[in-house]
A and B are shown apart, each in its own frame.
Chain A
Amino acid sequence: MATETHLKTGIDVVGDVAAWGAHFCLFYETKEDLLDTLISYCKSGLESEEYCLWIVAEPLTIDEARDALKEAVPNLDQYLADSRIEIAPAREWFLQGGTFDGARLTSAWYQKLAEISAKGYATIRVTGDTTWLAKKDWNHFCDYEDGLNEVIGNRRLAVLCTYPLAACGAPQILDVVRTHQFMLARRNGNWDVVETAALKRAKAELNQLNDELERRVAERTGELVRASEALQESQLELAHVNRVTTMGQLAASISHEVMQPIAAAITNGYAGLRWLDSQPPDLEEVRQALDRIVNEGNRATDVIDRIRALVKKAPARSDQLNINEAIGEVIALTRGELVKQDVSVQTQLAQDLPLIRGDRVQLQQVILNLIINAIEAMSGVGKGSRALLIATEQEPSGGVVVSVQDSGPGLDVEDLDRLFEAFYTTKPGGMGMGLSISRSVIEAHGGRIWASRNVGPGATFQFTLPVASTPEADAWPSQSESNVGPVAAAERTR
Chain B
Amino acid sequence: MSLAMDQLRRNEGRGGAIGGRDPRVIAVVDDDQGFRDALQRFLRAFAFEVEVFASGEDFLRSSRLDAFGCVILDLAMLEMSGLEVQQQLAARGLRIPAVFVTAHRDDHLGQRAFAAGGLAVLGKPVDHVELIRLVREALRA
Contact = CB atoms under 8 A, between A and B. Distances in A.
Interface residues of A, number: 40
Contact of A292 (B2, B34, B76): B34
A375 to B, nearest CB: 13
Contacts of A485: 31, 78-79
B76 A340 contact: yes
Interface in A271-286: 271, 273-275, 277-278, 285
Given A264-B37, A292-B34, A296-B34, 8 more contacts: A255-B103, A259-B103, A263-B38, A289-B41, A292-B37, A292-B38, A338-B78, A339-B77
Most-contacted residue by chain B among A268, A270, A295, A339 (CB, 10 A) = A270
A260 B124 contact: yes
Contact of A271 (B2, B41, B78, B125): B41
Interface in B28-46: 31-35, 37-39, 41-42, 44-46
Interface stretch (B3-11, B62-70, B92-100, B113-121): B3-11
Contacts of B24: none
A21 interface: no
7 contacts: A256-B103, A263-B103, A270-B1, A285-B45, A340-B76, A340-B106, A486-B78
Interface in B97-138: 103-106, 124-126, 128
Contacts of B128: 267, 270
Q: How large is the interface on B (under 10, 10 to 19, 20 to 34, 35 or more residues)?
A: 20 to 34
Contact of B35 (A252, A253, A260, A275): A260
Interface of B: 1-2, 4-5, 8-9, 31-35, 37-39, 41-42, 44-46, 76-79, 81, 103-106, 124-126, 128
B8 A269 contact: no
Contacts, number: 107
A487 interface: yes
A345 B45 contact: no
Contacts of B41: 267-268, 271, 285, 288-289, 292
B1 A491 contact: no
A256 to B, nearest CB: 5
B38 A271 contact: yes
A262 interface: yes
Give 8 nearest A-B pairs by CB, closest first: A263-B124, A274-B45, A271-B42, A264-B34, A267-B38, A263-B125, A259-B103, A271-B41
Most-contacted residue by chain B among A253, A273, A335 (CB, 10 A) = A273
Contact of B124 (A259, A289, A340): A259
A289 B128 CA distance: 16
Contacts of A261: 34
A315 to B, nearest CB: 34
A336 B34 contact: no
Contacts of A252: 104-106
Interface string A476-488: 0000000001110
Given A270-B42, A288-B41, A289-B41, A263 B78 contact: no
A261 B38 CA distance: 10
A255 B78 contact: no
Interface string A325-350: 00000000001101110001100000
A225 interface: no
A439 interface: no
B34 A270 contact: no
A297 B106 CA distance: 24
Contacts of A277: 5, 9
Contacts of A344: 78-79
A271 B81 contact: no
Contacts of B46: 274
Contact of B42 (A274, A296, A335): A274
Given A267-B35, A336-B104, A256 B76 contact: yes
A125 interface: no
B78 A268 contact: no
Most-contacted residue by chain B among A256, A262, A491 (CB, 10 A) = A256
A340 B126 contact: no
Contacts of B103: 255-256, 259-260, 263, 336
Contacts of A264: 32, 34-35, 37-38
A274 B78 CA distance: 31
Nearest to A274: B45
A60 B1 CA distance: 117
A266 interface: yes
A263 B125 CA distance: 4
Contacts of B104: 252-253, 256, 336, 339-340
A271 B45 contact: yes
Given A256-B103, A339-B81, A274 B34 contact: no
A269 B78 contact: no
A223 B4 CA distance: 67
A268 B45 CA distance: 10
Contacts of B77: 339
Nearest to B122: A263
A203 to B, nearest CB: 80
Contact of A255 (B33, B45, B105, B126): B105
A388 to B, nearest CB: 11
A273 B129 CA distance: 13
